[in-house]
Structure 1
Amino acid sequence: MKREIITTGDGSKTIHIAEWDEQYHSKHGAIQEARHVFLMTGLEHYVGQHRDQKEIAILEMGFGTGLNALLTYFEGDKYQVSFNYLGAEAYPVSQEEAAAMDYASQLEEEDATSVYNDLHDAAWEKQIEISDHFKLTKRKQRFEDITDSEVFDLIYFDAFGPRVQPTLWTEEIFAKMFNALKPNGVLTTYCAQGAARRAMQAVGFRVERLPGPPGKREMLRATKLVL
């Protein structure tokens, strides 16, 4: 499918798939959506609930442009934690597409460009130490093939929306996510669709509807509670 690079509402870029009329990130703002959905509502919430934890294992479903990984990298000093980050992606973006995103120009971190390049230059299917507080593994893997069991503390569920890929928002997929999380682990997603929420609940998640990022009224956060 043809992919083109567009500028979103906050000035940051994303990839648009014309055939689906779908973007990798919100057209209202790629960076502000990622910060709201995955950093504030996901990572910040998790750290607040587990203040003594020094390493956090994160699974990103849909590594895509690497934006979520880049933003997460710079949260290490803020929370005094290290990250073991796994990005699952069936259809990786090209190096040219990644470079065209130019996210570093939108961030205030002086080494954002080198970190972003390191994330995309990292070999697939092996763990790479990007820094002493960030280990990255990229797997070329479909969502349907996830088999991890109680490995992750946090899941960034960043699949394309149910309108264009409904099979990624089913009980079958969310059962895999539930199994992949450790007890009391958390999943966050920009999606607030009722069918997706019910699929999460059906496999055992406690699901909260929360205020969404600009352009979206609501989003979902799911927790694997252990009673």
Structure 2
Amino acid sequence: MSGKLKIITTEDGSHSLYNEELKETYHSFHGALKESVHVFMLYGIDSWLMENPTKKPLRIFEVGFGTGLNAWLTLIWAEQNQIPVLYHTIEPFPLSEEIYSQLNYGDLDDGFFHYKPYLQKLHKMEWDKGAIVSEYFNMKKEKTSLEEVTLYPSDVVFFDAFAPSKQPELWEKPLLQKVFDSMNPGGIFTTYCAQGQLKRDLKEIGLEVESLPGPPGKKEMTRGWKK
């Protein structure tokens, strides 16, 4: 489901993509950057760090590399906190250079400017191989599906697939179980999705599920803990 992609500007000024085939955006219209910071940084890795202040390195698995925004923000987080991150991400339909070279994330804030070159570096990395991207950030990205990927143990899962209404196969219980089985004890599963069926499925596979305040424009999001 690659579809035809168009760059759009969301309400916080940050870019996202609109997939014309799916009629779906890669991020919230209300702010791509704010959504990623809220769902994956604040309620993902910041929450993990509060519970594990001395545990290093942090292992992250992301479903949906997409624009690279989550990975890029995590790289910034790792460098600023000086915490090593091992980042594993999958993307069956990588973006073309024509698209990713136009993304404006590095221009949005003075604090991001130093890290601007890393966004394209993440996209230009060779697929299916791990690499050292910066002093505190190692990444392996794979051009594959959640069904096919071999998972490593993870502390935090960024579940950032398209919505269940658009790609329901990615949200089915057997795949959620696969992800759960790979998570370390104390691990966090975080997603923008607040669907009731998802919450029920996450509880059934063994996660302690929380409904949390959503990012701008969204009432709720979901987080699960593996105890």
**Could you tell me which of 139, 146, 149 is aligned with 1:146?**
149
**Could you tell me which of 115, 120, 123 is aligned with 2:118?**
115
Aligned to 2:90: 88
CA contact (8 A) 2:107 2:113 kept: no
Aligned to 1:98: 100
**Relative to structure 2, which stretch is displaced further, 70-79 or 193-202?**
70-79
Instruction: Give how far 1:29 is off.
Output: 0.4
Matched position secondary structure for 1:93 = coil
One-letter code of the match for 1:140?
A: K
Q: TM-score, normalised by structure 1?
A: 0.95
Q: Distance in 2 between matches of 1:178 and 1:212?
A: 22
Aligned to 2:57: 55
Q: Distance in 2 between matches of 1:156 and 1:42?
A: 8
Aligned to 1:222: 224
Aligned residues: 224
Q: Distance in 2 between matches of 1:135 and 1:20?
A: 32
Aligned to 2:8: 6
For the pair 1:64 / 2:66, whether they are aligned, the reply is yes
CA contact (8 A) 2:94 2:143 kept: yes
Aligned to 2:30: 28
RMSD of equivalent CA atoms: 1.2
Any residues of structure 2 matched to 1:120-131 within 5 Å, and which? 120-131=123-134
Aligned to 1:194: 196
One-letter code of the match for 2:67?
A: T
Any residues of structure 2 matched to 1:203-214 within 5 Å, and which? 203-214=205-216
Unmatched segments (≥5 aa) in structure 1: none
Matched position secondary structure for 2:50 = helix
Instruction: Give how far 1:114 is off.
Output: 1.3
Q: TM-score, normalised by structure 2?
A: 0.95
Identity level (%): 39
What do the CA deviations read for 1:112-168 (whole angstroms, capped 9, x no partner)? 22111211111111111011210011101111123325x111110000001111111
Q: Distance in 2 between matches of 1:48 and 1:218?
A: 22
CA contact (8 A) 1:53 1:81 kept: no
What do the CA deviations read for 1:161-210 (whole angstroms, capped 9, x no partner)? 01111111111111011012111111100000001111111111111000
Instruction: Give how far 1:18 is off.
Output: 2.1
Q: Distance in 2 between matches of 1:210 and 1:5?
A: 29
